[in-house]
């Protein structure tokens, strides 16, 4: 059987076949890379176009509608609680304290003895003054007797002169008797004056004896006792304070310092409320009774004193507590109100406005210079205005402002109407 024999391939032909296969693989790989790069480029173009469309929509704003409401303006001030009438009780006399009859927080009545000095020295002085009065009274009796005697002698001389026709007694004897009567009358008057003086001295010493018993001048409560038995009181230069009394703790005063920027709004008769740290969350009512004119300078901060009357029926408030008061200076019902942020707001405009759509992809890919900061529009001659949204665009509306409480401001003039959305801030660009 004859088997055909294939002629052997030429070495050159085999080499060409292998080279052609390798070239085909390299060409296929190259096209895959090109196709991938084209896809990446298309995705980048789509992303840039989408981002450009986002930025072209412009900024968005937060708004709040102008509305009628109640405007309450308050002024804050801080001070300390004090009794309506606080009295410092002291001693006008020097001496040693013999007894003390009251202590802190004791209730006392007017005239009650609080403490007593050693009375021995004062009692001796009173006894001496009484003896001086007795001596003066005895001197008056003696002077009166002498006056009566000299008057009787002068009366006899006058009778003898009448009976003798003026011959006796002599003129000298008459003049002597008259002078003796005048001296007797003067001595009597002096004795009476001595009695008055002695009695006045006695009254002074009796008063001092009474003052040695230190009494309460009011009905109230002992806030502070500053003396103990055996303590020496020296009152030679000034009265020494021994007790501090509060008249009536059911009525107190809150003395606060009002800042000079707010003092023009604070007047007597205004209502206020205040809080103290001892009772968190509790509001106490008060009424302003006085606003002082004497300024206080504390590190360059000028303030004026104001007094608030406080009712303390349950005695929950105590002297010395720090109170933070809110004084209501103005209440306005049915006022057209806008937020203060709306009066401060001014929209920003960019130098170049981007289009919402359009433009070539090449232009989107081309590099651009950095964007400039927005330019802020100036206020119109300082006239207050707010910005409202109309068709998605901010429009300025001039207004006339009234009172403000720091958060809301009353609009008393202008073309702003209730319900108009006033812009308070810029939120940014919309997606």
pLDDT of residue 210: 92
Query: What is the distance of C-alpha 333 from the center of its chain?
Result: 27
Tokens 């002695």: give the residue: 198
Query: Could you give the maximum distance between any two Cα atoms of the chain, in Å?
Result: 230
pTM over 0.85: no
Q: Cβ contacts of residue 428 below 8 Å, gap of 6+?
A: 59, 60
pLDDT of residue 200: 96
Cα–Cα distances in angstroms (integers) from residue 317 to residues 219, 250, 296, 363, 423, in the given order: 19, 9, 26, 77, 46
Cα–Cα distances in angstroms (integers) from residue 157 to residues 163, 176, 184, in the given order: 10, 11, 17
SS (H, E, C) 14-72: HHHHHHHHHHHHHHHHHHHHHHHHHHHHHHHHHHHHHHHHHHCCCEEEEEEECEEEEEE
Alpha-carbon torsion (282, 286, 288, 292), positive or negative: negative
Classified as helix, coil or strand, 263 is: helix
Cα–Cα distances in angstroms (integers) from residue 277 to residues 249, 273, 281, 320, in the given order: 19, 14, 9, 12
Burial class (CB in 10 A: 0-12, 13-18, 19+), 354: middle
d(CA 59, CA 349): 10
Query: What is the distance of C-alpha 5 from the center of its chain?
Result: 123
Strand positions, DSSP E, 260-362: 271-276, 284-291, 296-298, 301-311, 322-339, 348-349
What is the helix (H) or strand (E) element at residue 201, kind and residue range? Answer: helix 171-211
Instruction: Convert the pLDDT of each residue in 194-213 to its tens digit.
Output: 999 999 999 999 999 999 99
Count CB atoms within 10 A of the CB of residue 136: 20
d(CA 102, CA 113): 9
Are the CB atoms for 136 and 197 separated by under 8 Å? yes
Tokens 């740290």: give the residue: 277
d(CA 257, CA 280): 22
The 8-class DSSP code of residue 234 comes to -
pLDDT of residue 167: 87
Are the CB atoms for 375 and 345 separated by under 8 Å? no
pLDDT of residue 428: 67
Residues of the chain with pLDDT under 70: 1-30, 33, 36, 47-58, 237-239, 349-382, 428-431
């Amino acid at each position: 059987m004859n088997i055909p024999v294939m002629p052997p391939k030429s070495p050159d032909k085999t080499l060409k076949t292998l080279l052609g296969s390798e070239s085909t693989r390299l060409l296929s790989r190259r096209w895959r890379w090109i196709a991938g790069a084209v896809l990446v480029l298309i995705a980048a173009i789509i992303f840039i176009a989408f981002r450009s469309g986002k930025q072209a929509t412009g900024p968005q704003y937060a708004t709040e509608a102008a509305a009628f409401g109640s405007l309450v303006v308050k002024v804050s001030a801080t001070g300390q609680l004090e009794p309506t009438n606080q009295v410092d009780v002291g001693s006008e006399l020097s001496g040693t304290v013999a007894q003390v009859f009251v202590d802190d927080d004791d209730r006392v009545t007017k005239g009650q003895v609080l403490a007593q000095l050693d009375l021995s020295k004062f009692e001796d002085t009173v006894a001496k003054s009484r003896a001086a009065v007795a001596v003066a009274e005895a001197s008056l009796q003696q002077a009166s007797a002498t006056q009566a005697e000299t008057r009787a002698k002068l009366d006899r001389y006058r009778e003898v002169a009448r009976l003798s026709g003026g011959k006796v007694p002599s003129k000298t004897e008459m003049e002597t008797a008259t002078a003796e009567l005048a001296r007797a009358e003067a001595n009597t008057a002096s004795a009476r004056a001595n009695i008055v003086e002695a009695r006045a001295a006695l009254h002074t010493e009796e008063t001092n004896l009474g003052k040695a018993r230190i009494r309460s001048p009011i009905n109230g409560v002992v806030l502070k006792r500053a003396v103990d038995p055996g303590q020496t009181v020296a009152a030679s230069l000034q009265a020494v304070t021994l007790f501090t009394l509060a008249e009536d703790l059911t009525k107190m005063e809150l003395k606060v310092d009002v800042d000079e920027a707010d003092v023009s709004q604070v007047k007597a008769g205004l209502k206020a409320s205040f809080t103290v740290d001892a009772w968190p969350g509790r509001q106490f009512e008060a009424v302003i009774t006085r606003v002082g004119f004497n300024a206080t300078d504390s590190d360059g901060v000028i303030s004026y004193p104001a007094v608030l009357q406080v009712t303390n029926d349950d005695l929950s408030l105590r002297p010395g507590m720090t109170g933070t008061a809110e004084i209501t200076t103005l209440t306005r019902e049915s006022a057209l109100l806008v937020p203060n942020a709306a009066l401060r707001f001014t929209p920003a405009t960019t130098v170049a406005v981007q289009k919402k759509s359009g433009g070539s992809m090449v232009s989107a890919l081309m590099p651009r210079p950095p964007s400039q900061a927005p330019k802020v529009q100036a206020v119109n001659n300082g006239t207050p205005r707010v910005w409202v949204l109309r068709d998605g665009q901010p429009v300025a509306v001039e207004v006339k402002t009234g009172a403000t409480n720091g958060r809301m401001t009353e609009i008393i003039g202008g073309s702003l109407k209730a319900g108009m959305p006033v812009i308070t801030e810029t939120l940014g660009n919309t997606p």
